[in-house]
Amino acid sequence: MNRLRNRILLALLLAASFALPRLAAEAQAREQVEAEDITESRPATAEEREEFTRAIAFGKRYAAIPDAKAALEHYLRADAIFPDQPGVLYNLAILMVKEGRYADAQSRVDRYLALYSTGPEVETIRKLQTELDFQKDFEKRQQETKNYVELFNRGRYLLARGEYEQALRIFEEVADKQPTDAAVAYNQALAYEQLGDFVRSTEFLRRYLALTPSPEDKNDVDAKLFKLEAEITDMRTKFICPYCGLKLENGATWCHRCWHGPYLFDEAQWNSRPCLEGASATRTMYYVDGRFGGNELLSCLSKGGPYGQALAYSPAKQKTIRAARKAEGWLYDGDYLVEKKVGDQKVIVLEQGADVLERLLAPVTGDVLAYEAAKTGTESWNLDREDVVIDGVDYVKSYSYDAAGRLARETVAYQNRGACDDLIQMTADYVRNQSGALQSVKLGGGYSGLQVEGSPTVAWSGTLAFSYDDKGRVAREEFVLSSFTKTYAEKPRADQIRDDIKSFYPQMKWKQPIDLTRSGDFCGAAGSQRLSNRIDLRPFYTVSPSLPILLPPGVAKMTVDYAYPEAYGLKNDK
């Protein structure tokens, strides 16, 4: 009786794990006490036996069809009528395996082995256990794969959302789980590319190729690698034109597709006006008699430090610059600016030649600005001649360069439409020391007037000198006008002109030089207004960014004093 009771007790304990075998152990202690007194056996009724036999017979027939699902239902009925029959447990386990209900099958196997450890089906049921173990392992692996794919897809999602750093974190985690998954390496390459780290991007693309020996997209990946490597090289060897965004060879003085420049990053003059706390540039003017003519604080020109420091090429910077131009109405043809529109109207059309920008056309105003250049490097050109418009006056500038490719001489010709239409010539000659630093620039200019005006000849000359501090920074620029004279070769025949000249220069004598340093050069009158050809240093924007100025009459000296933050040093910063 005790044996029977124990058997019943055990059966009931296991029954509790019918659907939840894992809880069987937990439930065991609880039920052991309570069930001991409540279960007992009794003779089976005829109906039970009949029902059971019927369920078994049906189960068997369905299993033979085979219809495992129907068979399972009938064996479950049988188990419900007479629980824990060894054959039923065994058959249930087999049918449950066939139906993929491995957890349920495992509970039947466990119950069988617990109840009938020496039963006739033990040998087979142990093989079934091996099968279940395999299934368990299979499911575990499937779950791991599912988890992996989910994590991978999260990284992919972040990539598509543009959250590249987060995507990289996920892909690093994924790569730890599956180091040979080529797709991870590829996606990491994409993320690094988007973040601008092309070196890392190429590393992962190579890893991708290594992990997929013959990928279908090999050609595409090779092309991408080639492009990225070219970009890496460009990032080391090129800078970007801050106006049009074109990639330029390091050392190029000009952007040959928009003629902005000069990009003289190593010249102290071009690093003299950084936008930094503690940096300043103050222009002071003095009249010929030494009187103070006023101060002017010049605006900074290079944000964040030395000139061009931020201009090392990168695709992202290029994109930003182009976006800024496009926002202004500019259109690009590939890498080059081609036209600017205001509304629907073309205001500027750039004629891009095979190599360089050749002309600028302004269809509305009719202006035509021409450019000529000479090739100096693989992809660099020096501007030989250009038209510069300042206040409605077209200045034709020509440049000469020394053997080292540095600016050596500039000539400017213009018709002073703002005054008397005189045809004026100016020059700037660069003087460098042995190390190439710019010491001074000799400036001069003048013109010959008309015969009807008395054939006047005007000439001026001056020198722009630079002094440097111990860090090689420009400490001061000083322009001194050394002479400014006008000589009338003859007395004009027209009374009107003679009278005008006498009113301009009461002390003048025909055929004698007139000193213009105090008065300036008056060339005519328009009613009561005196027209004057002032010394125009504005076209010389290439000499130094602080030089361009229309010199006021009587000013004979101009200085620009620079101050820098202590730590700002051209050599250190660059």
Partner 1 sequence: MRRISTSILLVGLTLVSAGAGAQAPLTCQSGAGIDPANCAVVHYHVKMYRPDTKTSVELTGLNEFASRTACEAALAAERARNTAVVEFLKKNEPRLQYQADQFGACHCDMTRTQSSANFLDDAKRAAERRTQLDILARVRLRLIDSNALPNSELVTSLRVPPGTFDAAQWPRTVVSPSAKELAAAPEPLPDTAAKVTMVGADAAKSAPAASIEFPLVEVPTPKEVMVTRAIAPSVISGETEPASTDTTTPAPAADSGEANAAEAFVNYETSRVQAILRASGQIDDAATKKSILEAAVARMQLLSNLKLLVETAGPRSALAGAFRAVDGEAARLDLVGKLFGESVKSHWAPVDAKDVVVDIPAELTGDPFAVLREATGKYSREQQKQSLYHLLARTSNLTSSQLLSLADLMQSFL
Given 1, 216, 527, 566, the residue binding partner 1 (CB under 8 A): 527
Residue 541 has a CB neighbour count (10 Å cut-off) of 17
Q: Binding to partner 1 by residue 23, rule CB under 8 A? A: yes
Q: Binding to partner 1 by residue 389, rule CB under 8 A? A: yes
Given 10, 122, 331, 393, the residue binding partner 1 (CB under 8 A): 393
Q: Binding to partner 1 by residue 545, rule CB under 8 A? A: yes
Q: Binding to partner 1 by residue 526, rule CB under 8 A? A: yes
* Residues 275-294, interacting with partner 1 (CB under 8 A): 275
Q: Binding to partner 1 by residue 48, rule CB under 8 A? A: yes
Vertex 170: Cα angle to 165 and 173 (nearest 5): 130
Q: Binding to partner 1 by residue 168, rule CB under 8 A? A: no
CB of 314 to partner 1, least distance (A): 8
Q: Select from 109-117, 128-136, 456-464, 479-487 the region that touches partner 1 (CB under 8 A).
A: 128-136
Given 115, 408, 497, 508, the residue binding partner 1 (CB under 8 A): 497
Q: Select from 141-149, 277-285, 286-294, 431-439 the region that touches partner 1 (CB under 8 A).
A: 141-149
In the bound state with partner 1, the residue whose beta carbon lies nearer, of 365 and 400, is 365
Q: Distance between CA atoms of 424 and 321, rounded to whole angstroms?
A: 37
Q: Binding to partner 1 by residue 437, rule CB under 8 A? A: no
Q: Binding to partner 1 by residue 264, rule CB under 8 A? A: no
204 neighbors 192 (Cβ within 8 angstroms): yes
Q: Binding to partner 1 by residue 126, rule CB under 8 A? A: no
Q: Binding to partner 1 by residue 73, rule CB under 8 A? A: yes
367-383 core/surface letters (b: 16 or more CB in 10 A; e: else): eebebebeebeeebbbb
Given 110, 207, 235, 242, the residue binding partner 1 (CB under 8 A): 242
Q: Binding to partner 1 by residue 173, rule CB under 8 A? A: no
Given 202, 302, 380, 532, the residue binding partner 1 (CB under 8 A): 302
Given 113, 122, 135, 485, the residue binding partner 1 (CB under 8 A): 135
Given 15, 298, 431, 508, the residue binding partner 1 (CB under 8 A): 15
Q: Tell me the three state secondary structure of residue 75.
A: helix
Query: Which x/- pattern, by CB under 8 A, does the window 398-427 give for partner 1?
Result: ---------------x-x-xx-xxxx----
Q: Which residues pair with 339 in a beta bridge?
A: 331, 349
- The helix (run of H) or strand (run of E) holding residue 350 is strand 345-352
Q: Binding to partner 1 by residue 450, rule CB under 8 A? A: yes
Q: Binding to partner 1 by residue 461, rule CB under 8 A? A: no
In the bound state with partner 1, the residue whose beta carbon lies nearer, of 188 and 517, is 188
Joined tokens for residue 448: 């010959």
Q: Binding to partner 1 by residue 51, rule CB under 8 A? A: yes
User: DSSP letters of 223-292?
Assistant: HHHHHHHHHHHHHHHEEE-TTT--EEETT-SS-TTT------TT-GGGGS-EE-TT-EEEEEEEETTS-E
Q: Tell me the three state secondary structure of residue 368.
A: strand
Q: Binding to partner 1 by residue 256, rule CB under 8 A? A: no
Given 63, 357, 412, 535, the residue binding partner 1 (CB under 8 A): 63
Q: Which residues pair with 409 in a beta bridge?
A: 400, 429
Q: Binding to partner 1 by residue 194, rule CB under 8 A? A: yes
Q: Distance between CA atoms of 322 and 243, rounded to whole angstroms?
A: 8
Q: Binding to partner 1 by residue 128, rule CB under 8 A? A: yes
Cα-trace Rg, the chain:
46
Q: Distance between CA atoms of 202 and 226, rounded to whole angstroms?
A: 9
Say whether the peptide bond before residue 565 is cis (omega within 30 degrees of 0).
no
Q: Which residues pair with 477 in a beta bridge?
A: 466, 560
Q: Select from 93-101, 228-236, 454-462, 513-521 the region that touches partner 1 (CB under 8 A).
A: 93-101
Among 573, 483, 57, 549, smallest CA distance to 271 is for: 573
* Residues 209-228, interacting with partner 1 (CB under 8 A): none
Tell me which amino acid residue 34 is.
E
Q: Would you put residue 125 in left (φ > 0), alpha (ψ -120 to 50) or beta?
A: alpha
Q: Binding to partner 1 by residue 335, rule CB under 8 A? A: no
Non-local (6+) Cβ contacts of 461 within 8 A are 442, 443, 444, 481, 482, 483, 484
* Residues 341-380, interacting with partner 1 (CB under 8 A): 347-349, 351, 359-370
Q: Binding to partner 1 by residue 161, rule CB under 8 A? A: yes
